[in-house]
């Protein structure tokens, strides 16, 4: 079967078509979860005429099997843990604290690397579309939603091209629920996000910086035109 998306940019353009009702709103903000969410969100923000920013979240990988998530941490310190995984795999507190500390350092590094001195976007009272390239367990997006609620946006929309069906449903209830959830495709069996892209190369730090810079330039051009 041909994957539904060629690459992240293609996925972003397709995602934007179902978010068209938000186009042109002055209170709209688009936040990307780096790194893979940035190329997707860039296309969404451009299509909707909205400012683009990043919101940093890091997966907490299981010691020795870092690709397997046991939780996530957001840049403002919010930690979301998968207690079932931690109990089942007997992860002790010292190991967990070590992973959290390591990922917090990486969050700090990325804040400087991606944003530099540019301040974070104020989202209070705004509609916020939070974009990633897909949801498997959803742990990083869960941490993002919980952290963003503290900043009192008017509405949080979780938007992804592809997601595990159960993960997509989980964002519609509970303390980490979004006000709206958009998952373009929810294939079964899901297995992994990358399977649903023809091209799924790792997004580099340089690509993140370049897209954020292009987005700022687009915003300035739009302001000048208006």
pLDDT digits (tens, 9 = 90+) for 1-59: 789 999 999 999 999 999 999 999 999 999 999 999 999 999 999 999 999 999 998 88
Q: Which domain holds residue 190?
A: 8-55+123-225
Q: Are 179 and 185 in contact (CB under 8 A)?
A: no
Domain-embedded: residue 26 = yes
> What's the pTM value of the predicted model, to 2 decimals?
0.87
Q: Which residue has the tokens 């995984």?
A: 85
Domain-embedded: residue 111 = no
pLDDT for 220: 53
The pLDDT tens digits for 78-129 are 888 888 889 999 999 999 999 999 999 999 888 888 887 788 899 999 999 9
Which residue from 79, 100, 104, 101 is spatially nearest to 176, judged by alpha carbons? 79
> Strands, DSSP E only, in the chain?
28-32, 52-54, 57-62, 65-74, 79-81, 127-131, 155-162, 180-185
Domain-embedded: residue 118 = no
Query: Who wins on pLDDT, 27 or 221?
Result: 27
Domain-embedded: residue 197 = yes
Average pLDDT, integer, range 162-187 = 92
The confidence band for 217, taking pLDDT boundaries of 50, 70 and 90, is low
The confidence band for 133, taking pLDDT boundaries of 50, 70 and 90, is very high
Average pLDDT, the chain: 91
Domain-embedded: residue 95 = no
pLDDT for 222: 56
Domain-embedded: residue 60 = no
Letter string b/e over residues 94-113, b meaning 16 or more CB atoms within 10 A of that residue's CB: eebeebbeebeeebeebeee
Domain count, the chain: 1
User: Residue 118 corresponds to which tokens in the numbers above?
Assistant: 């540019």
Rounded Cα gap, residues 172 and 55, in angstroms: 21
Rounded Cα gap, residues 169 and 139, in angstroms: 14
pLDDT at 131 over 80: yes
Q: 10 Å Cβ neighbour count for 79?
A: 16
Q: Domain containing 201 — which CATH number? A: 3.40.50.2020
pLDDT at 224 over 50: no
């Amino acid at each position: 079967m041909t994957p539904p998306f060629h690459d992240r940019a293609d996925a972003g353009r397709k995602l934007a078509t179902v978010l068209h009702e938000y186009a042109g709103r002055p209170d709209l903000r688009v936040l990307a979860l780096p790194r893979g969410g940035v190329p997707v969100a860039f296309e969404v923000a451009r299509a909707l005429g909205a400012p683009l920013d990043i919101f940093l979240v890091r997966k907490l990988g299981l010691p020795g099997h870092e690709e397997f998530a046991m939780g996530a941490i957001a840049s403002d310190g919010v930690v979301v843990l998968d207690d079932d995984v931690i109990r089942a795999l007997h992860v002790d507190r010292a190991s967990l604290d070590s992973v959290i500390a390591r990922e917090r350092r990486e969050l700090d590094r990325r804040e400087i690397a991606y944003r530099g001195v540019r301040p974070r976007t104020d989202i209070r009272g705004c509609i916020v579309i939070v974009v990633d390239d897909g949801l498997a367990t959803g742990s990083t997006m869960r941490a993002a939603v919980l952290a963003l609620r503290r900043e009192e946006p008017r509405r949080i929309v979780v938007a992804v091209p592809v997601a595990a069906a159960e993960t997509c449903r989980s964002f519609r209830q509970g303390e980490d629920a979004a006000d709206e959830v958009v998952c373009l495709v929810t294939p079964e069996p899901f297995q992994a996000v990358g399977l649903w892209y023809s091209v799924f190369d790792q997004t580099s730090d340089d690509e993140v910086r370049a897209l954020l810079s292009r987005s700022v330039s687009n915003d300035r051009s739009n302001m000048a035109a208006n």
